[in-house]
């Protein structure tokens, strides 16, 4: 009997440790993996946003500050990780397209997608603001940002309704684009006090929704054009759309035109909530979304789930609504349990073949970083909307009992302890 007390204490401390979110050391591993494995234009762009939200929140549209007032005094040393991404982008920028004044060929990168390179536009704007249009390979950051803007506005094919294509060779709409393009148009517009660009950002969200929204409120992934097609409610695509619209909403609030644009903000809010409302009934009992949200024969995907969790918490930190907090905590707890000890998010959709499960996901790593930035801010603002107010619902999910909160204590140790217990 005498040996039972310390064992009880050990068991109790394990279960207390497990009732928490990702440890900072494991979160750092997630961050480092994110830094190492991103390759494609949209991945680097998404990573830049994850870095801004987690390391340089004053420059994010999601905090209570106004990033555009901070931009003027910005020093490049303050945002070295963003400068690194911007510099890489400028080095990869197509050489024959380096004339900022020429309207043709202003894209930051050529990879077949018209929309994806725009995800790097905010990083380029920040690099410009902090270096005063410093040149890389003979082109200034600011000139490259303006050329990218002009490319989107004047060169990329459009649908008959005016939606800017996600593809460079034809008019085809992908829900992904709502994350890549409108937030850049909006950020550029808010920074340069240009309401037309803010309106364009709103309008693009509206036009994409017109084509992609299904009758149940969820969005299809890819419509129109030829070749690739994916007329299904891809989880990551719904998350891209909801998050992109929330970034536009937040940018408008931070701009000098917020009071003029309340009806646009109301629309964006209802379109975001429409996705959250339509998806909530499809959260699985273990706290994830299927890769195709309403198709329970598709595998469960942690990557799109992570971005939905992040955005649900941002709806709370932005004081829009706390209604999606309980589900978002459940989603984030489940996602966290799929992060392995080397910091990889597992059971993810393959970002290069969106119908299949993959073994790792660069964008998924960024989504987890964003989700924890959102979670930490939500926590610091008083945990609005959580069930009891004081509990940690992230840890109360049964799935959270896996290993994620126990970087130093393996399942093997737990069973060894349980084994000793059984032998007593
Ligand atoms: C994305 O960033 C990585 C380095 O982090 C770089 O190797 C790669 O070339 C970049 N991709 C593009 C399309 O610029
Ligand atoms: C949300 O409301 C809180 C409390 O009123 C306030 O401190 C915070 O700045 C607001 N956040 C935003 C993003 O407006
Ligand atoms: C320049 O941009 C145009 C239009 O975006 C593209 O078609 C062309 O391939 C680019 N040139 C190079 C050398 O990448
Ligand atoms: C680039 O930065 C300078 C200030 O450093 C600013 O005057 C200019 O408007 C910026 N360009 C863009 C496109 O933001
Ligand atoms: C806003 O931006 C658009 C696109 O670059 C430009 O045509 C327009 O002149 C700008 N408006 C103002 C007021 O600067
Ligand atoms: C999948 O969905 C169908 C139709 O909604 C339902 O009948 C079936 O029970 C579900 N299967 C699982 C495993 O949840
Ligand atoms: C974590 O997942 C990554 C990607 O699937 C894999 O390469 C790595 O070996 C895994 N780590 C462990 C400890 O299983």
Interval between CA 49 and ligand 6 midpoint (Å) = 37
Phi and psi (nearest 5°) for 140?
Answer: -75, 150
Alpha-carbon span 216 to 195, nearest angstrom: 32
Q: What is the pLDDT along the chain (424 residues), one digit of tens a residue?
A: 344 444 444 443 333 334 358 999 999 999 999 999 999 999 999 999 999 999 999 999 998 888 998 888 899 999 999 999 999 999 999 875 545 444 445 999 998 999 999 999 999 999 999 999 999 999 999 999 999 999 999 999 999 999 999 999 999 999 999 999 999 999 999 999 999 999 999 999 999 999 999 999 999 999 999 999 999 999 999 999 999 999 999 999 999 999 999 999 999 999 999 999 999 999 999 999 999 999 999 999 999 999 999 999 999 999 999 999 999 999 999 999 999 999 999 999 999 999 999 999 999 999 999 999 999 999 999 999 986 544 455 654 433 333 333 333 333 333 333 333 333 3
Task: Kindly give the distance from the C-alpha atom of residue 148 to the centroid of ligand 4, in angstroms, as a whole number.
Answer: 14
Q: What is the pTM of this model?
A: 0.89
Question: Distance (Å, rounded) from C-alpha 304 to C-alpha 109?
Answer: 25
CA pair distance 163, 323, nearest whole angstrom: 31
- The helix/strand/coil state of 37 is helix
Among 369, 375, 326, smallest CA distance to 21 is for 375
411-423 vs 4-18: helix crossing angle, rounded to 10:
150
- State in Å: Cα 139 to ligand 4 middle: 13
DSSP annotation of 167: B
Residue nearest to atom 7 of ligand 5 (CA): 196
- Return the number of other C-beta atoms located less than 10 Å from residue 342's C-beta: 10
- Going by the DSSP 8-state scheme, the letter that residue 35 receives in this structure is H
Q: Whose CA is nearest to atom 8 of ligand 4?
A: 142
Tell the residue number behind the tokens 């005498």, with chain if given. 2
Task: Report the separation in Å between the CA atom of 79 and the middle of ligand 1, taken as the mean of its atom positions.
Answer: 18
Pocket test for ligand 3, best of 93, 97, 157, 169 (most atoms within 8 A of CB): 97
Question: Which residues contact ligand 5 via a Cβ below 6 A?
Answer: 149, 153, 194, 196-197
39 within ligand 1 shell (Cβ under 6 A):
yes
Q: How many CA atoms lie within 13 A of 417 on its CB side?
A: 16
Q: Please tell me the number of the ligand nearest to residue 384's CA.
A: 2
């Amino acid at each position: 009997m005498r040996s039972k007390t310390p064992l009880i204490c050990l068991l109790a401390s394990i279960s207390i440790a497990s009732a928490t979110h990702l440890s900072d050391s494991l979160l750092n591993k997630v961050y480092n993996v994110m830094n190492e494995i991103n390759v494609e234009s949209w991945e680097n762009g998404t990573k830049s946003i994850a870095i801004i939200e987690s390391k340089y929140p004053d420059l994010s549209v999601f905090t209570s500050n106004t990033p555009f007032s901070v931009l003027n005094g910005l020093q490049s040393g303050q945002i070295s990780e963003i400068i690194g991404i911007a510099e890489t982008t400028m080095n990869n920028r197509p050489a024959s397209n380096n004339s900022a004044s020429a309207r043709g060929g202003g894209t930051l990168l050529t990879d077949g997608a018209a929309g994806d390179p725009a995800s790097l536009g905010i990083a380029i704007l920040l690099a410009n603001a902090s270096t005063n249009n410093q040149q890389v390979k003979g082109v200034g950051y600011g000139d490259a940002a303006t050329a990218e803007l002009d490319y989107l506005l004047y060169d990329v094919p459009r649908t008959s309704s005016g939606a800017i294509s996600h593809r460079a060779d034809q008019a085809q709409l992908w829900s992904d684009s709502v994350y890549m393009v409108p937030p850049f148009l909006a950020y550029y517009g808010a920074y340069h006090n240009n309401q037309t660009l803010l309106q364009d950002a709103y309008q693009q969200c509206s036009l994409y929704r017109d084509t992609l929204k299904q009758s149940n409120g969820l969005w299809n992934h890819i419509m129109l054009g030829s070749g690739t097609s994916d007329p299904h409610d891809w989880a990551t695509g719904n998350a891209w759309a909801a998050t992109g619209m929330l970034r536009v909403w937040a940018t408008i609030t931070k701009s000098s035109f917020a009071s003029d644009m309340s009806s646009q903000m109301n629309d964006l809010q209802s379109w975001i909530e429409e996705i959250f409302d339509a998806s909530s009934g499809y959260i699985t009992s273990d706290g994830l979304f299927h890769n195709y949200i309403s198709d329970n024969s598709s595998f469960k995907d942690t990557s799109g789930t992570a971005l939905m969790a992040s955005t649900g918490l941002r709806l709370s930190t932005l004081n829009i609504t706390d209604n999606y907090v309980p589900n978002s905590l459940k989603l984030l707890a489940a996602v966290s349990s799929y992060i392995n000890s080397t910091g990889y998010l597992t059971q993810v959709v393959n970002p290069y073949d969106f119908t299949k499960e993959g073994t790792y996901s660069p964008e998924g790593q960024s989504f987890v970083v964003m989700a924890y930035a959102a979670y930490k801010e939500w926590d610091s603002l008083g945990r609005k909307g959580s069930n009891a107010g004081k509990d940690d619902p992230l840890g109360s999910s049964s799935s959270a009992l896996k290993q994620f909160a126990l970087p130093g204590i393996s399942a093997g140790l737990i069973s060894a302890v349980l084994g000793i217990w059984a032998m007593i």
